[in-house]
Amino acid sequence: MSRPKPMSGFPEFLPAERMVELHALRILSSTFELHGFASIETRAVEPMDQLARKGEIDKEIYVVRRLHAAEGDTDELGLHFDLTVPFARYVLEHAGHLVFPFRRYQVQKVWRGERPQEGRYREFLQADIDIVGQGTLADHHDVEIPLVALDAFEKLHVDLGIPPVVLHVNNRKLSEGFYRGLGIEDTAAVLQRVDKYDKIGPDAVAELLVTELGLETGQAAKCVALAGIATTDESFVDRVRELGVEHALLDQGLEALAAVVRVAERQVPGRMLADLKIARGLDYYTGTVYETVLQGAEKMGSVASGGRYDALASDGKNTFPGVGYSFGVTRLLAPILGRGELTASRSVPTCVLVAVDNEESREVALRTADRLRRRGIPTEVAPKADKFGKQIRYADRRGIPYVWFGAGENDEVKDIRSGEQVGADADAWTPPAEDLFPRTVRGPLG
């Protein structure tokens, strides 16, 4: 068999890179649980009619077909392209067993058939949090969700060295109310053009609004002026009012966004930005929307996003409004790992290699390894009873810092980095804390 070629858009990490990813996932999961979110997992496939019903993303869906499906089998399934659509189905299916407001987090792979590029993949890992109510959901959750997200990002920054973030926030009611106040009916079309603001600039957006949507020059100018407003405090309200547009929905959006920014300014000053060009592409968002960018790496675009949805899930009798947020774990980590900016201090979890004197004494080595493992020290036994020099070189190649010698009496352990070798008891010896498990470090393995 010839050497296989990698598939574009389906990233696979080497062991040291995977350790960094696992570290990030532990940070995210523990943060979510500290805030009271319970973990769930949903199936990988959903009916096509469910996947294609929102957000105009049907061209991105990977269709699943059974090779030996019976003739006339019309079941059409697709791999989920995000975790929100399957979560909506999950809530409807299990509503009788859930307590609302229901707080969930979910870490799973998703699939999208889009053109691969840095930060965008066909298979990638997401980590989502959502708070869902039955009938109603209090507005204060709109600020709770981004505070949880910022807590998680701060830990990723401190523990992994990932750059700090700024969380951009807007409200769809604010934008839609503003457009309606200008006499514009097709507000969704305006949002789609405004969403290109950062890519093509304000003048190009204004031109699109005039040439493609038929807006008057004055209307387009005010839409662009709204999109250009960004503040870290509530001063955006006065700047919107200065544009002279009035509408009841605009008032609701301004009030809701001001409430979110007000709390965030006190809790995490400078970390949230009211950015009135944020739209979010999917059409199930109805209120507050979020996008998050790394400071100094703004060209990557948003690495995490979300928002409020008031009618994502409904069974005809009950509606389940919610607010959620999605971390693009692969989108965040893959470029950083690919550039060698983060790695692990070693490529294996093993802390100690127990040397084998000869094959007849392997059972003794296995017992020593078991004693160390019972005390929480990652340990493996040498694969061959080679000369000790070869066993030490084997440990060195794998990045294992310690080699253990002995048959249960007069044992010694060697730090192969410094060459220091000391007597040790498998029931008492403990390595330094920084050596016990691999650590995330800056730069490539030495």
What the block records as the tokens of 169 is 């926030």
d(CA 355, CA 362): 9
At 314, give phi and psi (nearest 5°): -155, 140
DSSP 359: G
d(CA 179, CA 147): 29
Structure confidence at residue 72 (pLDDT): 61
Residue range 345-360, pLDDT digits in tens: 999 999 999 999 999 9
What the block records as the tokens of 421 is 């070798």
Structure confidence at residue 57 (pLDDT): 47
d(CA 438, CA 348): 7
Q: Is 285 annotated as a binding residue?
A: yes
Tell me what the mean pLDDT of segment 125-129 comes to.
98
d(CA 47, CA 76): 6
Q: Is 290 annotated as a binding residue?
A: no
Tell me what the mean pLDDT of segment 139-168 comes to.
95
Tell me what the mean pLDDT of segment 108-128 comes to.
90
Q: Which fold would CATH assign to domain 348-442?
A: Rossmann fold (3.40.50)
Q: Where in the chain is the domain with CATH 3.40.50.800?
A: 348-442
Q: Let me know if 314 is exposed, middle or buried by CB neighbors in 10 A (0-12, 13-18, 19+).
A: middle
Output the pTM of the full model: 0.91
Residue 54 reports pLDDT greater than 70: no
Residue 380 reports pLDDT greater than 90: yes
Of the listed ranges 93-102, 274-283, 357-366, 377-386, the one predicted with least confidence = 274-283
Q: Is 105 annotated as a binding residue?
A: no
3-class DSSP assignment, residue 198: helix
Structure confidence at residue 15 (pLDDT): 94
Q: Is 325 annotated as a binding residue?
A: no
Strands 63-64 and 77-79: antiparallel
Q: Is 284 annotated as a binding residue?
A: yes
What the block records as the tokens of 431 is 């390595």
Q: Is 350 annotated as a binding residue?
A: no
Q: Let me know if 372 is exposed, middle or buried by CB neighbors in 10 A (0-12, 13-18, 19+).
A: buried
User: ∠ CA(221), CA(293), CA(209), 5° rounding?
Assistant: 20
Structure confidence at residue 120 (pLDDT): 82
d(CA 197, CA 205): 6
Residue range 320-343, pLDDT digits in tens: 999 999 999 999 999 889 888 899
Q: 187, 180 in Cβ contact below 8 A?
A: yes
Residue 113 reports pLDDT greater than 90: no
Specify the CATH class of 15-42+83-343 in words. alpha beta
H helix runs in 106-185, sequence order: 141-160, 172-181
Residue 52 reports pLDDT greater than 90: no
d(CA 192, CA 189): 5
- The secondary structure of 27-91 as a DSSP string is HHHHHHHHTTPEE----SEEEHHHHTSSTT-GGGPPEE--TTPPTT----EEE-SSSHHHHHHHH
Of the listed ranges 40-49, 67-76, 182-191, the one predicted with least confidence = 67-76
Q: 100, 134 in Cβ contact below 8 A?
A: yes
Q: Is 112 annotated as a binding residue?
A: yes
- What is the band of 1 on the pLDDT scale with cuts at 50, 70, 90? low
Q: Where in the chain is the domain with CATH 3.30.930.10?
A: 15-42+83-343
